[in-house]
Amino acid sequence: MHCKEAMINLLDLDKQDMKSLFTDKPFRGGQIFNWVFGKAVSHVNEMTNLPRQLREDLSGRVAISYPEVAGSQESVDGTQKIAYRLHDGRIIESVLIPEKDHWSICVSSQAGCAMGCRFCYTASMGFIRNLDVSEIVSQVLHPLRAYPQRNFRNIVFMGMGEPLLNYDNVVKAVRILTDVDGPQFSRRRVTISTCGIVPRLKTLAKDTEAALAVSLNASNNSTRQRLMPITRAYPLPVLMDALRSFQLPNRRRITVEYVLIRGVNDSLKDARELIRILHGLKVKVNLIPFNPWPGCEFQAPERSAVLAFEELLKKSPYAVMVRKEKGDDILAACGQLAGGVIHGGEDLDRVLAESGCLPGETEKRHPRPDPHILGVHR
């Protein structure tokens, strides 16, 4: 009895992967890439510039499989939260954010999260698994297909999960989404937000031109460790040294995200410490008033505290803005995504170890697919 081979999901492959499947005619891989990601077709039979026989051969071996849309909610401000059901039944969430003349797509990179940040709803659910490339890019391709009238301009990896602990898949997804034969998003319009996985910061600038945002949230090590357990692995001074070494393209700045929490990190003393530790960095500061969620232990800051913090930072060399939160009425604002994920039980140290990100470890990489996996070379 022979087991049926699993179908290859073309949404998991970048252009080079697809070209490698056609060793004698790699241009066929480029054509398929354009059909899948540029024209967003749903079946091989729609690829009309491929020979009929090739389409027939491929149709039994490959698929273009999107996660199921499990539900959608719309905020009073127009923000839309979409829930996707993955092949294993897990639910992840993505957010479509309306701006003045365009839309941004907030993308998840993991089901759940191992970081354990105490102010984040996603972290309270625990870590389940990394998302496949197809599960990441689908969060962008689905809105492009479903809402062609909207001007989607920005992609932000600020949804569920820590992007740099799903490093290879996130980098590949960015490569696909910015490809000139794919969705063609500008590299300057794609932002990867991280809690500060130091080993990955050392390679990120070489592997992608996406913009970098760092979730800092404290101006001293003790407060950050209280809020963000990742600080045990990478103390604040270590993270700041890594940011100073980060190779920025010309005229680019790192975005520092700072969630303001009442009585925890929102004092003028905190603001002065923040100015001090940012010295010498090319950064812009994004102040985010904490968004409460069911069962959380923290409170949103007083409006007066937010304004005072902002005014003090405005006297520093750094650009500063207070993020106007959108979608908080449907739990779609920063730190509010959860997606009904069931706690997976993995602790932070284990996930760091499995990702090759414990201090002193080298990172793990995954090879490209077997060039002969399809057995077609037309």
Which residue in the list 93, 135, 162, 257 is annotated as catalytic? 93
- Cα separation, 4 vs 20, in Å, equals 23
Query: Shortest CA distance to 34 belongs to which of 47, 24, 21, 45?
Result: 47
Per-residue CA distances from 311 to 231, 257, 272, 303, 316 (Å): 28, 16, 11, 12, 9
Q: Which residue has the tokens 């699993």?
A: 6
Query: Shortest CA distance to 258 belongs to which of 287, 224, 296?
Result: 287
- Cα separation, 96 vs 106, in Å, equals 6
Active site residue 93: yes
Amino acid in position 34: N
Contact 185, 137 (CB under 8 A): no
Per-residue CA distances from 377 to 9, 14, 19, 27, 370 (Å): 18, 18, 10, 11, 13
Active site residue 209: no
Contact 14, 172 (CB under 8 A): yes
Alpha helices by DSSP H, listed for the chain, are: 15-20, 27-33, 52-59, 121-124, 133-146, 167-177, 198-207, 221-227, 230-233, 236-245, 268-277, 303-314, 348-354
Which residue in the list 106, 113, 117, 334 is annotated as catalytic? 334
Cβ atoms < 10 Å from Cβ of 42: 12
| Dihedral class, residue 78 (left if φ above 0, else alpha if ψ from -120 to 50, else beta) | left
Number of H helices, E strands in the chain: 13, 14
**Catalytic sites, residue numbers:** 93, 334
